[in-house]
Chains A and B, each alone.
Chain A
Amino acid sequence: MIQLVFSIFLGAGLIALLYLFWMRERARPEGGAEALLNAQNALNKLKGGLLPTALIARVFAQDDLRFVATHSTLEVQKAFRKERKRLALFWIGQVRSQIVSLRKFHLGKSRFYARLSFATELRLAAAFSLLLGECRILQAMIYLRGPYAFPGFVGRTITGAARVCGVSERSIAYMSLSSSKIPGSGGTENQAAL
């Protein structure tokens, strides 16, 4: 049994490596400016509207739940829970799609601008995959148990997304500078960030 699990993990790891190589081979420098712009937009959306803790705290606020539970009929309480669930799923869906945009950029175009080592690229890819996995888990949890069941996991996802955004932002800021100067030079800052 242990051998089977080990083989499955090994196989999955090899497939992930092959996928990464395939993405590296497929990537072309053309359209890099557009990809950089899209990545910047994804970062702005994440930082501006999807990750600010004040807004997310309000979406998942338990004082609103308590207020509705004590000041309205069952009908309104049901509508409230449905609305909050819809908002929570909308939020996590948006976070996920912006993270996917960022990952696409990092897997495809970033190495034409910044000299990232393969190990750094691998670590970044792993960070993205982990975060996307967390997003999927959170999505499933909210769908099954509603938005109030796992407050700790929401915080964890926000922290993870903010961390990946921070690394991504530093590399994009660096790339914006380097692409306007000498494309493809340096890159040690981004490697240090991971």
Chain B
Amino acid sequence: MNFFARNLRVHEAAEDLRRRTLAQIGRPLDRLIYLASMRDYNTGLYYHDGLASKFGDDVACEAIAECHREAFHELVSLPLEVLVGQMESYMKTMQTAPSDFLAMWKGIEPYRVAVPVGADQLAIEFLFSNFRIALSILGERLHGRRPMEPGASLPQLPVQ
């Protein structure tokens, strides 16, 4: 298979994955975790039986990697407020008590293994930082800590 034909197959496989599977997963956070779970941590290769049987192992692997990068960039570009909302919804869908979930996410930071290989270091650091802040905000909400009065501690913002 030449370079262009292979690229076309990868594109086709990625479209198939988006249409059949990822379209059912509404939140980018869930998509990122789902796609990262298909990766073998020892080899860095992605496995998906259905996709591999249709397109072959290599093409399927590359297509999943493409979708993984896409989900990562989508998540990085979200405002913090939306990320907090997504994490809260994700936490509610888990079979774990919210306090346990937050303790685990703060403790072992499972999101660290969810980033695609070759992602830019600044984008990775930015996402991790947002996760840490989001977890702190969710922790405060869980413990019923009241935020400051709206605008009370808002610093003077420079004129844009």
Q: Which A residues contact B (CB, under 8 angstroms)?
A: 45, 48-50, 54-55, 58-59, 61-77, 79-80, 83-84, 86-87, 90-91, 94, 148-151
Contact mask for chain B residues 55-83; partner A; CB cutoff 8 A; 1 contact, 0 none: 00000000000000000000011011100
Which secondary structure dominates where chain A touches chain B?
helix
Is the CB of B137 closer than 8 A to any CB of chain A? Answer: yes
Is the CB of B42 closer than 8 A to any CB of chain A? Answer: no
Interface hits, B86-127 → A, CB 8 Å: 120-123, 125-126
A115 to chain B, nearest CB (A): 34
**In the complex, A108→B43 CA distance in Å?**
40
**In the complex, A50→B160 CA distance in Å?**
22
Contact A69 B154 (CB under 8 A): yes
Is the CB of B147 closer than 8 A to any CB of chain A? Answer: yes
Contact A69 B155 (CB under 8 A): yes
**In the complex, A64→B83 CA distance in Å?**
11
Contact A55 B123 (CB under 8 A): yes
Is the CB of B7 closer than 8 A to any CB of chain A? Answer: no
Interface hits, B126-160 → A, CB 8 Å: 126, 129, 132-133, 136-137, 140, 145-148, 150-151, 153-155, 157-158, 160
B109 to chain A, nearest CB (A): 14
Q: A58-B76, A67-B80 are in contact. Are A91 and B133 (CB under 8 A)?
A: no
Contact A49 B81 (CB under 8 A): no
B128 to chain A, nearest CB (A): 9
**In the complex, A74→B89 CA distance in Å?**
25
Contact A70 B122 (CB under 8 A): no
Contacts of B148 in A (CB 8 A): 69-70, 72-74, 77
Contacts of A80 in B (CB 8 A): 133
Contact B79 A94 (CB under 8 A): no
Contact A151 B132 (CB under 8 A): no
Contact A67 B79 (CB under 8 A): yes
Contacts of A62 in B (CB 8 A): 157, 160
Nearest B residue to A54 via CB reads: B77
Contact B126 A49 (CB under 8 A): no
Contact A73 B80 (CB under 8 A): no
B1 to chain A, nearest CB (A): 27
A137 to chain B, nearest CB (A): 16
User: Besides the contacts A76-B133, A79-B132, A150-B158, what 20 more A-B pairs have beta carbons closer than 8 Å?
Assistant: A48-B120, A55-B76, A55-B77, A58-B76, A59-B122, A66-B157, A68-B133, A69-B155, A70-B147, A70-B151, A70-B154, A72-B136, A75-B136, A76-B136, A77-B148, A86-B129, A87-B129, A90-B122, A91-B122, A148-B157
